[in-house]
Amino acid sequence: MITLQNPLDMHIHLREGEILKSVLNFSAKYFSGVLAMPNLKIPLDDTNSILKYKKEIENTAKELNCGNFMPIMSIYLSESLNKNELIKAKKEGIKILKLYPKGATTGSENGISEILNQKICDIFEIAQDLGFILSIHGESNGFSLEREFEFGEIFREIAINFPRLKIIMEHLSDRRSIDLLKYDNIFATITLHHITMSLDDVLGSGLNPHYFCKPILKTKKDRDALLNLALSGDEKISFGSDSAPHLESNKLKQNGAAGIFSAPILLPKLCEIFEKHKKLENLQKFISDNARKIYDLQNIPNKTITLIKESFKVQDFIVIGDDRIIPLLAGKSLSWRIKDL
């Protein structure tokens, strides 16, 4: 048995409307708080829309009887974002600024194409002064397996030029990125899928679109290096699932939407891995304590989650109208389960 205090998922796509209603319980019941990504169909680059979305999440969590739960909001860095909007957002308690390179992933059409140009550097300066945390989807538009590594240059430039700005490398996927953690102001999140799977799972035996995500899963060496980093409880690393539900029809058609829906299995699977590697004692840091410090999170609602070593079968799918969403490890059995609250 293990007890986790106040689990936090520092990177998740909750979507909106019907999908939100169908996926939120997996997070809101078992996590004290989650950092909700702003890449909705209409990107959340203004305070009013963010507050409206926050209300939608809170109301849905109430309807679903999820107990104490805090959505942590982020603002989308689009070309139209300006100083006044950042000031307004900060006043409303929004302190995460999310940067997507234009075209890098789902919902990044309104992202930034020239990240180091003057206008965007001015935004970084303002963000630094206001105490924002800059969360970055770090991928270039180069060869797909090199994208995160190539983006390293940009991380370096921002870290050096804005030393008081906290920068989060989101969803680490390439072991060469780990070196960037030597900069005092660079931190990272790590997903479940990047520490348990490799490119072989996507295309090693038939093409599996459900394991297709951005950044793409890489080599087994990358997976293992990131796994060891997560297991170590390193204080610069928070857990961020990047759980990203897509309708099955969009996964199978439309060129294969990128995103892995891992929310239904996160805590049991993490227990399984940390136990297997005899590092259960570090799970609390990875799942909550590090994030509380890095993001300076106050007033997190209290939640105590107990997991027991009993078999748990992952559901095959979630029905959405006449479509479905397929979770990671659908139909498989895990060796830990969450004890009923």
Query: Contact residues for ligand DOR (CB under 6 A)?
Result: 13, 39, 105-107, 137, 213-214, 242, 244, 258-259
> What is the phi-psi region of residue 276: left when phi exceeds 0, alpha when psi lies from -120 to 50, beta otherwise?
alpha
Total residues interacting with Zn ion, rule: CB under 5 A: 1
Nearer to ligand DOR, 107 or 264 (CB): 107
What distance in Å separates the CA atoms of residue 121 and residue 160, rounded to the nearest whole number? 12
Judged by CB under 5 A, does residue 45 bind Zn ion? no
Q: How far is the CB of 285 from Zn ion (least distance, A)?
A: 22
Rg (CA), the chain: 19
Q: How far is the CB of 148 from Zn ion (least distance, A)?
A: 13
Stretch that binds Zn ion, among 178-186, 223-231, 234-242, 274-282 (CB under 5 A): 234-242
Which residue's Cβ lies closest to ligand DOR? 259
- 146-151's contacts with Cβ under 8 Å and 24+ in sequence apart are 147/104, 147/215, 148/172, 148/173, 148/174, 148/176, 148/177, 148/215, 149/174, 149/176, 149/177, 151/101
What distance in Å separates the CA atoms of residue 244 and residue 328, rounded to the nearest whole number? 10
Percentage helix, strand, coil for the chain under 3-state DSSP, each rounded to 5: 40, 20, 40
Answer with the entry of Zn ion, ligand DOR, none that 268 interacts with (C-beta below 5 to 8 A by kind).
none
Which residue's Cβ lies closest to Zn ion? 242
The CB density around residue 226, as the number of other CB atoms within 10 Å, is 25
Check if the beta carbon of residue 13 is closer than 8 Å to that of residue 191. Answer: no
Q: How far is the CB of 255 from ligand DOR (least distance, A)?
A: 13
* Window 236-255: contact mask with Zn ion (x via CB under 5 A): ------x-------------
Nearer to Zn ion, 104 or 225 (CB): 104
Q: How far is the CB of 54 from ligand DOR (least distance, A)?
A: 18
DSSP helix/strand/coil, 304: strand
Answer with the entry of Zn ion, ligand DOR, none that 259 interacts with (C-beta below 5 to 8 A by kind).
ligand DOR
**Contacting residues toward Zn ion, per CB under 5 A:** 242
